[in-house]
Structure 1
Amino acid sequence: MMALLHVEGLVVGYGQFPVLHGVDFTVQEGEVCVLLGLNGAGKTTTVSTIAGLLRPQSGRVHFAGRDLGHKSPSARVSAGISLCPEGRRVFPGLTVRQNLKLGAWTRRKSSAVVRDQMSLVLDYFPRLSERSGQLAGTLSGGEQQMLAVGRALMSRPKLLLIDEASLGLSPTVARVVWEVTSRIKADGTTVLMVEQNAGALPFADRALIMEKGTLVYTGVGDEVQQVNLREAYLGA
């Protein structure tokens, strides 16, 4: 496997308040990586910087062997990076299908790609297929999360960033979303998930644990399943 994403020395802050303090990590092509940490650890800042929503004070983000530099968020979507943001942020007055089509904006000139991605998303989340004509604002929280992930997939990304997919969801619904990441990976998309919930670990090939803007643990393969991760870093 090659490194699809390489984050090097990332320092990011809001005004005079530093949040990330020289973060370094790699995500290999074809894996699911989980970035774990408590609220305020800097996880959302990390994926927002990768997506181009924040500018680093120093450090670099390399994607598919290229330094992203100051590329805009839209340019990063076109390059193959898609973000499913925290809080879902669906368009409540639009239908499920309309929300999904908006996610394919960078692919709008290729009706075949849009059609194929729509079919794939509805296969991942059959509930969305049942509710394709329903207004997004009338969906349950779990259904809105499925829609948010599906919308992010509509641009056919190489790297899917998912920020706090399990937030506010029942354990059963959260598990449904996590299980889909295995299928997304099998279909060729690399996944980086931000989570507070250590229940995501069984679905990960790589785990990163963040505390106060610094990575304190990196594990791969069988190391990811270590029981003491929850107690040592996330609380029992």
Structure 2
Amino acid sequence: MSLLEVRGLVVGYGPHPVLHAIDFDVEEGEVCVLLGLNGAGKSTTVNTIAGLLRPQSGEVRLDGRSLGRRSPSARVKQGISLCPEGRRVFPRLTVRQNLRLGAWSRRRSPRAVREQHDLVFDYFPRLVERQDQLAGTLSGGEQQMLAVGRALMSRPRLLLIDEASLGLSPALARTVWEVTSRIRDGGTTVLMVEQNAGALPFADRALIMEKGTVLHTAVGEQIRNVNLREAYLGA
């Protein structure tokens, strides 16, 4: 049984579906990259898994149990956390305060919050220097690190990251992708939405998406096949 199972998912805005009965699995302990061009339906997929959108049909299952119509906050408590597209940090709060808000679901466990706080600083040492700085004054790369760190503060089993590399230099994008491997090794499964094929070397599984459908699934060495990139994303 996979950690995450998506079955027959149809999601739309108004009468027009964006996702057309998609099916895929994400295994526990892997980094899965959902890859496709703009408008393919990638963000709609992770927003539905996080509970921000309701499907017209189909279901999402975690550990074999349907999430049904559970709210986003209930899904956080069940172990699903979303790092949204565009970072969306709280600009007038400090780095430390942003991280504390990410731990709201665990606020009654101060020790667990401290441990997760230390873990985030271990993943992103640059945030240690910035912990008392207002988030709105950080660079784009630092804000992305903070957004990922804030999502980790709830100690999720499944971390959803939407377009981590958007607007970042290649070097900073690579830094974020490298950290996802460490996050996986620390026991958190990662589903990462990307347009940038540079994320593929960091993936254990790749889902190629186009126009609301999952066209292809690649695992392990299949991901390294350059023809896969050319076929679905262009050379």
TM range (shorter): over 0.9
Match of 2:20 in 1: 21
Measured against aligned partners, the alpha-carbon deviations of 1:71-112 in whole angstroms (never above 9, x if no partner) come to: 000000000000000000000000000000000000000001
Match of 2:205 in 1: 206
5 Å-filtered alignment, 1:49-88, equals 49-88=48-87
5 Å-filtered alignment, 1:1-236, equals 2-236=1-235
Question: TM-score, with normalisation over the residues of structure 2?
Answer: 0.99
Which residue type is aligned with residue 196 of structure 2?
N
Which residue type is aligned with residue 146 of structure 1?
M
Q: Distance in 2 between matches of 1:140 and 1:28?
A: 34
Shift of 1:235: 1.9
Q: Distance in 1 between matches of 2:97 and 2:146?
A: 11
- Which 4+ residue blocks in structure 1 deviate beyond 2 angstroms? none
Structure 1 runs not aligned, ≥5 long: none
Shift of 1:10: 0.2
The Cα RMSD (Å) is 0.6
Shift of 1:231: 1.4
Secondary structure of 1:76 counterpart? helix
Secondary structure of 2:3 counterpart? strand
Structure 2 runs not aligned, ≥5 long: none
Shift of 1:228: 1.4
Secondary structure of 1:3 counterpart? coil
Aligned residues: 235
Shift of 1:8: 0.2
Secondary structure of 2:4 counterpart? strand
Question: TM-score, with normalisation over the residues of structure 1?
Answer: 0.99
Secondary structure of 2:33 counterpart? strand
Shift of 1:229: 2.1
Which residue type is aligned with residue 158 of structure 1?
R
Q: Distance in 1 between matches of 2:224 and 2:107?
A: 41
Q: Distance in 2 between matches of 1:56 and 1:122?
A: 36
